[in-house]
Amino acid sequence: MSKRIKLTEEGARILENMLGHFVAETTGVYAALVSSSDGHALAQWSQSELHGSKLSAMSSSLLALGESLSRESGQQACQYVIVETLDGFLVDLRVGERMVLTVLARKDGSLGLLLSACHQLAEELSSRIRKE
Amino acid sequence: MVRRITLGACGLDENDRLVLQSLINILELRSEVRWDFSSEGPGEISIVDLDSESGRRLWGELCRQPERVAIAYGGQAEDAAYRLEKPLRSRSVLQLLQDISRERYVTEAESGEGQSGPATAELSGKQFFQQLIDLFESGTWALRDGDRMLLIDGPRKRAWLRGPVDVLAGMARKSFARLQVLPIEAAALETAARSLDPISAPALIWYFARHHSLALQADLANRRYRLRRWPNLRQLGAGPDDARFCALLSRRWIAFTDLELVAGTRDAIGLLNALAAIGLLQVRPEERNPATAGTVVSGGLFSRIRKRLGVGA
Amino acid sequence: MSELKFIFTGPPGVGKSTAIAAVSEFAPVVTDVLATDELSDIKAQTTAALDFGEITLDDGEKVRLYGTPGQRRFSFMWEILIEGGLGLVILVDNSRPDPLADLDIYLENFSGFIRDTGAVIGVTRMESHPQPDLDDFAAHLERHGLALPVLEVDIRRREDVVQLLDVLMMTCEPA
């Protein structure tokens, strides 16, 4: 059985819609991307210009590193990799086994709420993809 | 007039004799004298190995003959005017022989004139390989050295060997003139070849050059060397160390003395011979003020890493 | 003083992680993720960030071995990983459609690093895929003006990986 991920146009449109909703409704969030676990860009929604393929590859690396770091430190499964900057936050987390969600946010809202919203979106994306 | 000096090796082991013989070629191109080599016994200048019985015996005799210069090598010799440390290093041998020959044998008038042409020893080394390569041009040949035998089918660029490839090393160390080279009928060659092991022409050239004890490169010590292309070491049947030595030559211009430090004198000469013989060596004259090379610290570092990995010297 | 660091690179699936595991004194740190493209037909996982292994010298000093991700989209990791490196091992998989073109990707992307330090090329799976042969690789490198060492290797064998590192160190050896 092939393990390839190939989104149909319809599938990509559904993902983008979900990302669009999320960006519109979550305080501070201005962009969200879904990538494959190995760094291919699958879908994105952004209020500004983004280099999606670059961010996808880097998110894949960063999340993989975060997971390795958790493992090597003897901690349980890595939930998020969070980068805090002067301007805001970058959050990476898994969507199921084979995808990565990347969320970019300004510092308007609280980090706790942001993480919780990200987690919920990942669950929704994951169950939606299982259905597709 | 060109001065001729005989250099005698007294009591030296086989390896040291071969090193000396190679160095003579280098020296001849650098100095105003022609050198002859006597592998057993004294010359006008003699290098005497005081660790050997025959060397110690000769030492007393030589020191009573003031017209002869004896250089002590190994052992204890308070009465030695000249000494060389073990193991033989080309740089110190060349320096000492050059100094002695200037000091004792070459007058100022002589040194200015009569520059010798290409050295005969060096030519004979080149001739050796030219002849070997010529054998591959035409005809079928049998090379004999005692019961060692090499068959060459020139037109088809094929060769066969009796015994393991090592027998070539012995043949290669001989001067070509002392090898028997006989034409052989094509049919006889076919018959004889059946009981022998085939060897490819490039591997044969490589092997001969690699084990030939005389430098084929003119003015060996005053040049720098670099690989033009990485050799197919497996196809050439090269030993594992050759990959390491070639690697040294793969990225920068290396002086003979630097290669010698890593590979030893004989392997350094043999490797340059072999790379030149298969056409993969670039050569350029030594610059007068060579730029000091990279990080000295890493020399020791790499040897520690090798030790940990369990390889190399 | 520079870090004691060597980098392994090469196309996905060539065995960079395996090579590091063959010589590292602990199970290497890996950053494997599930492959989701054509690679997944031959290999379930791929390196997304780096592999990391280590060798301790007698005086306690550490030699660090890093593997890069193979895919060009991860080239930002290549830049990060070569920082301070002493030399590069390029592994090439002879069973892929165009091994010489694969080699070019790494020669180009690491050209500055190769010029400043040193590199060695290990060709894998030659037994089942003898073409291009070692002469083809050497001639190809010569066209780039390079005479880098090219060795046939089975990266599962420790001695083959050790030989790659040994030869690499000779190319970096100060003249």
Residues 255 through 274 of chain B touching chain C, CB cutoff 8 Å: 255, 258, 262
* pLDDT the model gives residue B95: 76
Q: Which residues pair with A44 in a beta bridge?
A: A33
CATH code of residue B246: 1.10.10
CA distance B169 to C86: 37
Same domain? B17 vs B103:
yes
> Which residues make Cβ contacts (< 8 Å) with residue B29, sequence separation at least 6?
B119, B122, B218, B219, B220
Give the tens place of pLDDT for each residue, B147-170: 778 888 887 878 888 777 777 766
Residues 57 through 86 of chain C touching chain B, CB cutoff 8 Å: 57-59, 61, 63, 86
Query: Highest-confidence range of B38-47, B286-295, C21-30, C40-49, by mean pLDDT?
Result: C21-30
Same domain? B180 vs B236:
no
Whether the pLDDT of residue B295 is over 70: the answer is no
Chains that touch C (3 or more CB pairs under 8 A): A, B
Whether the pLDDT of residue C175 is over 70: the answer is no
Please tell me if residue C88 touches chain A, with a CB cutoff of 8 Å: no
- The token pair at A53 is 């393929």
Which positions in chain C touch B240 (Cβ < 8 Å)?
Answer: 163
**What residue type is assigned to position B51 of the chain?**
D
Residue ranges covered by each domain of chain A: 9-131
**What residue type is assigned to position B7 of the chain?**
L
Tell which wins on pLDDT, B195 or B22. Answer: B195
Query: CA of A65: which chain C residue's CA is closest?
Result: C31
Please tell me if residue B284 touches chain C, with a CB cutoff of 8 Å: no
Residue ranges covered by each domain of chain C: 5-172
CA–CA min distance C8, chain B (Å): 17
Whether the pLDDT of residue B120 is over 50: the answer is no
CATH code of residue B53: 3.40.50.2300
Same domain? B129 vs B204:
yes
Same domain? B23 vs B91:
yes
ipTM of predicted complex: 0.91
By CB atoms closer than 10 A (0-12, 13-18, 19+), residue A46 is middle
Whether the pLDDT of residue B63 is over 80: the answer is no
Q: What's the whole-number mean pLDDT along residues A93-119?
A: 95
Please tell me if residue A111 touches chain C, with a CB cutoff of 8 Å: no
CB nearest A68 (choices: C29, C38, C44):
C29
Query: CA of C32: which chain A residue's CA is closest?
Result: A64
CB nearest A3 (choices: C34, C49, C73):
C34
- Residue C146 half-sphere exposure, CB side, CA atoms within 13 Å? 21
CA–CA min distance A108, chain C (Å): 30
Please tell me if residue A37 touches chain C, with a CB cutoff of 8 Å: yes
E strands present in chain B: 3-10, 33-38, 45-49, 69-73, 82-84, 140-145, 148-153, 158-161, 180-183, 197-200, 223-227, 254-255, 281-285
Same domain? B86 vs B126:
no
Q: What's the whole-number mean pLDDT along residues A111-124?
A: 96
Q: Which CATH class is domain C5-172?
A: alpha beta
CA–CA min distance C36, chain B (Å): 37
Same domain? B125 vs B205:
yes
Residue-averaged pLDDT of chain B? 75
- B232, B254, B271: which to substitute to probe chain C, counting the most C Cβ within 10 Å? B232
Question: Which of these ranges, A59-63, B36-40, B285-289, has the smallest mean pLDDT?
Answer: B285-289
Whether the pLDDT of residue A55 is over 70: the answer is yes
Which positions in chain C touch A39 (Cβ < 8 Å)?
Answer: 33, 48, 71, 73-74
Chains B and A touch, contact meaning at least 3 pairs of CB atoms under 8 angstroms apart:
no
Chains that touch B (3 or more CB pairs under 8 A): C
Tell me if A72 and C29 make a contact (CB, 8 A cut-off).
yes
Please tell me if residue B295 touches chain C, with a CB cutoff of 8 Å: yes
**What residue type is assigned to position C41 of the chain?**
D
Q: What's the whole-number mean pLDDT along residues A28-49?
A: 94
- CATH for A9-131? 3.30.450.30
Tell me if B305 and C169 make a contact (CB, 8 A cut-off).
yes
Written as one string, the DSSP assignment of B17-34 is HHHHHHHHHHHHHHSSEE
- C36, C43, C54, C80: which to substitute to probe chain A, counting the most A Cβ within 10 Å? C36
Give the tens place of pLDDT for each residue, C85-112: 999 999 999 999 999 999 999 999 999 9
CB nearest C171 (choices: B228, B250, B306):
B250
Please tell me if residue B252 touches chain C, with a CB cutoff of 8 Å: yes
> Which residues make Cβ contacts (< 8 Å) with residue B76, sequence separation at least 6?
B50
